[in-house]
Amino acid sequence: MVNDLKMIGKAVLVWMSVQTWALAQLQLTPETLADHMDPILQEQIKDINRLRITSSMASGPVQIFSETSRFRKVVQDGRAVLAPVDEDGFVFAVGLNSDLLLELVRKASSVARAAHEGKRAYQIDITDPDVLREIGQMGDHDALKDFEPKSATLWLDASDFRIHRIQMAQAGPSGDDVDVELFFAGYQLHRGLPIARAVLMKVTGMEAFMEQPEMRQAMRQLERMKSQLEQMPPEQRAMIEAMLAPQMAQLEEMLAGGAMEMEIEITDVRVE
């Protein structure tokens, strides 16, 4: 009798779990997901007042650089958020400013449970033109001023909502699409806040840039650099080629095939 009651109790618990899961599936909307995310994101920054992230270009067709992005905790509409102090650092701002991330989720066209590289995730699809323009303006790149954003998709971890991947599609002036993908990896916790240690950016459809003055100038500079290398003594030429070979190879590939990859490495994180 006791065993039968235990089995019935287990069956009821299983049934309730299934119903709860099914109900959660039906109730998953941009608004309910954002409401669920809010207290978790607040908890992640409760012990952080200031944040400084230093990054450098680990690989890519441009010269290696170092950049520092700063964030400061402020209260907006009764909520604590890490707000960017600098204009730069868009890549990090999306993941670190909870207000910004919540706004993207609330204004999403759809949200769904998904998997990303075998991990439970949420897929956030954005097609609203106004929201997409806001995302595009965050980068503030002159080269993209003539491009019309078409869609954006974010994959967030289902447990702590760290960003795994961002995919954006834009239409160029001639109608050609430019696709940008950002992959975030190597997360580490800093006082409870997950921060990616590397960001890989992939861009396809660079042909849309070819007619722009910046791209024509880049092609002329590449040809000029090759000409200068050919006139150098063999030892000096070999040394410079060894230093610039990866960047030149990617630049040539980008100009020839319209594709580009670059990796940003986070070299230092300071929390106060």
Out of 29-43, 68-82, 204-218, least confident range: 204-218
Residue 12 has pLDDT above 50, yes or no: no
What pTM, to 2 d.p., does this model score? 0.72
DSSP string covering 195-235 = E-SEEEEEEE-GGGGTTSHHHHHHHHHHHHHHHHHHTS-HH
Please state, for a pLDDT cut of 70, what percent of the chain lies above it.
66
- For the segment 141-150, what is each residue's pLDDT rounded down to a tens digit? 555 556 678 8
Over residues 130-138, mean pLDDT: 71
List beta partners, residue 195.
188
Please state, for a pLDDT cut of 90, what percent of the chain lies above it.
19
Residue 80 contacts residue 74 (beta carbons within 8 Å): yes
Q: How far apart are CA 151 and CA 149, in angstroms?
A: 6
Predicted confidence band at 215 (pLDDT cuts at 50, 70, 90)?
low
Residue 60 has pLDDT above 70, yes or no: no
Q: How far apart are CA 91 and CA 255, in angstroms?
A: 24
Q: How far apart are CA 106 and CA 124, in angstroms?
A: 10
CATH class of segment(s) 29-210+257-271 = mainly beta
pLDDT of residue 122: 94
pLDDT of residue 107: 92
Domain locations in the chain as residue ranges: 29-210+257-271, 213-256
Tokens 């990090």, residue?
92
Residue 18 has pLDDT above 50, yes or no: no
Predicted confidence band at 157 (pLDDT cuts at 50, 70, 90)?
very high
